């Protein structure tokens, strides 16, 4: 377990069934399998990716993990990890910290292969990120921002104990049009830590 950059948490993160770790070049095909699927990315803030897009995205993940969060207080900082189950990558998860005074507010995000839908992997890995946000990064609040049509993601937020706080109308511009955003939130005092492995 090697700490990445100046992180207050050691990677990989583990759950009962999953390993959340830094991506490697060997993961490109697995990430491409779901990020290249129109049905998977229709609720995400980016469109379908080709191989070059996945490689560039994964390079940004590496670059950010190599940056100490305290060295970039003028902007958001994020940690994106692939989720591995039984030796194969099944998705990826993201924890974003806001700049300066908002550094104690985290946002989580997740995307998974449809081949593992309904197995609870999104909830299990997102719960581990929430634990890291509160216990390791010292956050006082965790949010999730999602497309209101993404009911599966909303159910994950509810299973995490998050509260649906807002429905923002036409606040996100992507693919040439404005769309809505649903905001879920969880405060430190509402958080119930899970058992560490």
Q: Which residues are CB-neighbours of 55 under 8 A, at least 6 positions away?
A: 28
Measured distance CA(156)–CA(140) in Å, rounded = 20
Of 133, 42, 116, 25, the closest CA to residue 79 belongs to: 133
For 123, the 3-state DSSP assignment is helix
- Under a CB-based contact definition with an 8 Å cutoff, are residues 181 and 143 in contact? no
Note the pLDDT of residue 2.
Answer: 35
53: tokens are 């897009």
List the beta strands (DSSP E) in the chain.
Answer: 2-3, 10-11, 13-14, 19-21, 77-85, 88-97, 105-112, 141-146, 163-174, 177-187
- The confidence score (pLDDT) of residue 174 equals 77
Question: What pLDDT is recorded for position 176?
Answer: 82
Q: Which of 107, 183, 115 is nearest to 150 (CA)?
A: 183
Cβ–Cβ under 8 Å, residues 28 and 58:
yes
Q: What angle do CA 72, 61, 46 make, to 5 degrees?
A: 105
Name the nearest CA neighbour of 95 among 148, 134, 50: 134
Please, is 25 exposed, middle or buried when counting C-beta atoms within 10 Å of its C-beta (0-12, 13-18, 19+)? exposed
At 138 the pLDDT is 93
- The phi and psi torsions of 12 (rounded to 5 degrees) equal -80, 160
Q: Where are the chain's structural domains?
A: 10-190
Q: 148: alpha, beta or left, given left = phi > 0 and alpha = psi -120 to 50?
A: alpha
- What is the per-residue pLDDT for 4? 47
Half-sphere exposure of 107 (CA within 13 A, CB side): 14
Q: In this structure, which CATH number among 3.30.230.10, 3.40.630.30, 2.60.40.1120, 1.10.1060.10 belongs to the domain 10-190?
A: 3.40.630.30
pLDDT along the chain (197 residues), means of 10: 63 97 97 95 89 97 92 94 98 95 92 96 98 95 95 96 97 85 97 77
């Amino acid at each position: 377990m090697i700490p990445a950059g100046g992180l207050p948490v050691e990677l990989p993160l583990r759950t009962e069934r999953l390993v959340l770790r830094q991506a490697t070049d060997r993961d490109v095909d697995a990430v491409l399998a779901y990020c290249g699927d129109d049905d998977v990315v229709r609720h995400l803030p980016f469109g379908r990716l080709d191989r070059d897009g996945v490689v560039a995205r994964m390079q940004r993940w590496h670059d950010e993990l190599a940056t100490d969060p305290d060295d970039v207080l003028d902007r958001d900082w994020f940690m994106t990890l692939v989720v591995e189950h039984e030796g194969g990558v099944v998705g990826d998860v993201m924890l974003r910290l806001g700049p300066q005074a908002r550094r104690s507010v985290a946002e989580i995000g997740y995307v998974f292969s449809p081949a593992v839908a309904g197995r609870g992997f999104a909830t299990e890995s997102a719960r581990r990120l929430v634990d890291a946000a509160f216990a390791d990064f010292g956050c006082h609040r965790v949010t999730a921002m999602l497309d209101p049509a993404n009911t599966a993601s909303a159910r994950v937020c509810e299973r995490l104990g998050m509260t649906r706080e807002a429905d923002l109308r036409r606040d996100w511009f992507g693919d040439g049009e404005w769309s809505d955003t649903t905001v879920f939130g969880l405060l430190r005092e509402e958080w119930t830590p899970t058992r560490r492995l």
